[in-house]
Amino acid sequence: MWVDERGSQVLDRAECIRLLTLGASSTDTVGRVGFAIDGVPIILPVNYGMVDGDVVVRTGEGVKLLSALQRAVVAFEIDSIDHPHKVAWSVLVRGLCAEVVDEAEVARARAATPASLVAEPGDRYLRIRTGVLTGRRFPLREDDGEAALAHAPAPA
């Protein structure tokens, strides 16, 4: 195990994939996808699933799909505060985003993604390759957990 200069445990690829997969199977986990449109950064919350170690996202028409059609490199991030174990963690994916078009792959993406939180989720799927995958885990100080709970956004 490697610990960085700020005391965070640096997670290996296998642990990052495990946490991504764990988050994808939870109805409480929301990921965030970040990309640039005309040089302007945009970050959007998404439900997601995992297929063959890659992130899959259901979407409709809009900026996420536009980014995928341009075969852009995007960022995808999830994080969690584990109060019983007094730790927090974060996983960041940077990879190529492309629309899933093969019918068999669309079926796999559909099966892997949870029910959407939005009324009109769209019927297209994006795959984000886990090209660069990094993660950190760090212990919570006693007062961190309480502060994080007080400032945490309400689930969507």
124-143 per-position pLDDT tens digit? 899 999 999 999 999 988 76
135 Cβ neighbours under 8 A, 6+ residues apart:
10, 11, 15, 16, 19, 89, 90, 91, 92
Model-level pTM?
0.82
Domains of the chain: 2-150 (2.30.110.10)
Q: Give the pLDDT mean for 42-51.
A: 90
Q: Give the pLDDT mean for 92-110.
A: 94
